Structure 1
């Protein structure tokens, strides 16, 4: 059955799809244009925590669960206390974001939420094939990960995979105003693996064990590492697990952007919006959506200039080093945090640096493995 024709159809009601919908709703340029958001389910879940850094006040401040002005990086060769000024490190939950986004979108008559699963989008007929119906639109914003990503072995694939415990301890064990970006003291078998801590009070925190590896692992490994860390490094044997989080985030140089066209724009993870070298996506999503809106209003293809090539090259080299020498992660990240200021680090990860600033970062990380990876990835 052929459904109505929409001006835009957003395939996927996740972070990217709903952020895009909010920006379209708030811009008078798009008023009166019928927009569909198609997702298998709009049930609000409590399974994700998003964190990001930014200067001063931001769009999402009303939804923030916690924020920190200080952080720390710990390894067997470094113990760095990080003053984040002029940045703050902010956290919000998927539950709060989805509740807000769906409520705001529901106030507009221009949007319709459709529960369906899209299997294919035909770029010629501009039809999206769902399990229930077929949908027509003048442009699709598609968050589905391309099947080619799973099928190819030509590109580097690192997985950021993790499990976190939200815990309440009997005794005060956390420093409330300081989060832990990376603690490498407990590593798993020469891998790039570390503990990440977001404290909410002296007795409550999210304690997460994270891998940046070319392999995945069993459930029991996360539990063993978390329990070992809490007992050995937090020195807490009496605590309650109030909630658990778990996930897998692709860190890759796969060219997701090659799937963009004048009729279909890939967004979110399926559009390569996850920063390849870090796994962070929240602020990159916000910036990419701003660029998409600007492009549309200027008469350009929505995906025009979403990516800067030099950062794709930097990420590809770094990921190749991690894929070949996963044991080197602690050493590389230790150099990164010891030899650069927080402002330099965040600007680099936000892709807002000049070439001379990039060179400073590169020299601080120098290791022969980077040269090997450069020639492996870019043969002239």
Structure 2
């Protein structure tokens, strides 16, 4: 081990690769050696990222599908919602990995290393790996800290999902519109729903999702997907082309408080996943831009990455879901029935004014929210 890197990025997933890509585009960082360390080669399509965006964006060349409207369904609601002026965009993870790796392959100052980091020693300024140790002047670390599992003070909801990418015999889907949430089939009265991303009239990703304080067993997803396809949308003839699954923490745990002078937490390990939704792609883009701006201004990289006002809003929402998980259907029904998609997206992007935020809050009003407000605020 003879190289000392300027930056070591621990984790070559969404956050680590977006950060490396942004650093590579800035003349300010030219000549600074950067290592991206991950135990995986990232050569498989292991997930799908979706996000909403106005107009064109920097990732459009790898966006594989867009939608202009969405559906929300429950026992009481059947809503078709226009997304204008936004579009809902999908990126397959393998397309993202390949794009970033190709962009960075010509830059001699950036190196990919396949290794698993167990810890970062702030005294010796080394990331300790299974194969080697890596020295740097600063570390960007996407690993979830061990203190997260031990700390009981904060609310923890688990977004868990399993999706089947299916092909049907007949035309079954409207490829111009996706289904954000379908609550017509739930598991044991929990906050659980089906999410559908139609690609063509015969192909779609059909995903069963939980927002719950408990962890579901794998066989439950298969049972719910089979029942949803056969009984709810009445599709009998289909074949499963591929399967994807995921597990995302939805929490008000203050990951950003673990940041140190020499270590900045990023990605899921930095609290970059929107606690109330599990979305992360666009928030990662914004936080990467903020990190680069902070560094160029001589500020700590992790300064002001988290909007504390919206984190409090998220904490209230999560507390309600954790304590009243059976009410998720009703809560989300109110959200989508009483607000435009433009205002919902603006709120989730943390770009609303106080009056707009209050409108969202009052649309969800209930005694459970008042109780959670006093518990969390």
* TM bucket, shorter chain: over 0.9
Task: Report SS of the residue matched to 2:84.
Answer: coil
* Secondary structure of 1:249's aligned partner: strand
What displacement does 1:369 show? 0.3
Name the structure 1 match of 2:235: 236
The residue number in structure 2 matching 1:338 is 337
CA deviations on 1:9-61 (whole Å, 9 max, x unpaired) are 10111110001000011111111111111111224111200000000000111
Farther-moved stretch of structure 1 (265-274 vs 148-157): 148-157
Asked whether the 8 Å contact 1:3–1:134 carries over to 2, the reply is no
What SS class does the counterpart of residue 87 from structure 2 fall into? strand
Unaligned runs of 5+ in 2: none
Alignment map for 1:262-273 (pairs within 5 Å): 262-273=261-272
Q: Deviations over 1:318-349 (max 9, x none)?
A: 10111111001010000000111111000000
Whole-Å Cα distance in 2 between the matches of residues 239 and 98 of structure 1? 30
Structure 1: 5+ residue stretches without partners = none
Q: Distance in 1 between matches of 2:346 and 2:286?
A: 14
Q: How do residues 1-380 of structure 1 correspond to structure 2 at under 5 angstroms?
A: 2-378=1-377
| C-alpha RMSD over aligned residues | 0.9
Structure 1 CA distance, aligned partners of 2:63 and 2:42?
21
Q: How many Å separate the matches in 1 of 2:33 and 2:142?
A: 19
What is the DSSP-based 3-state SS (H/G/I as helix, E as strand, rest coil) of the residue aligned with 2:119? strand
Please give the alpha-carbon distance, in whole angstroms, between the structure 2 residues aligned to 1:12 and 1:230. Answer: 36
Whether the 8 Å contact between 1:6 and 1:36 is mirrored in structure 2 is yes
Contact 2:42 2:94 in 1 (8 A): no
| Residues 252, 276 of structure 1: 8 Å contact kept | yes
1:126 Cα deviation (Å)? 1.4
TM-score normalised by L of structure 2: 0.98
Counterparts of 2:26 and 2:42 in 1: how far apart (Å)? Answer: 26
How far the C-alpha of 1:123 sits from its partner, in A, is 1.9
Greater shift, 199-208 or 112-121, is seen at 112-121
Q: Aligned with 1:124: secondary structure?
A: coil
Cα offset, 1:155, TM superposition: 1.1
Looking at structure 1, the residues matched to 133 and 219 of structure 2 have their Cα atoms a distance apart, in angstroms, of 43
Q: Distance in 2 between matches of 1:60 and 1:15?
A: 13
Asked if structure 1 preserves the Cα contact closer than 8 Å seen for 2:42 and 2:97, the reply is no
SS across alignment from 1:59? coil
Q: Within 2, Cα distance between the matches of 1:273 and 1:3?
A: 33
Q: Which whole-Å CA distance do the structure 2 matches of 1:39 and 1:366 have between them? A: 44
TM-score by length of 1: 0.98
Q: Residue 235 of structure 1: CA displacement? A: 1.3
Q: What secondary structure does 1:67 align onto? A: strand
* CA deviation map 1:163-216 (0-9, x unaligned): 100000111111110000000000111100000000011111000000000011
1: CA distance, partners of 2:119 / 2:322: 32
| Runs of 4+ that moved beyond 4 A | none
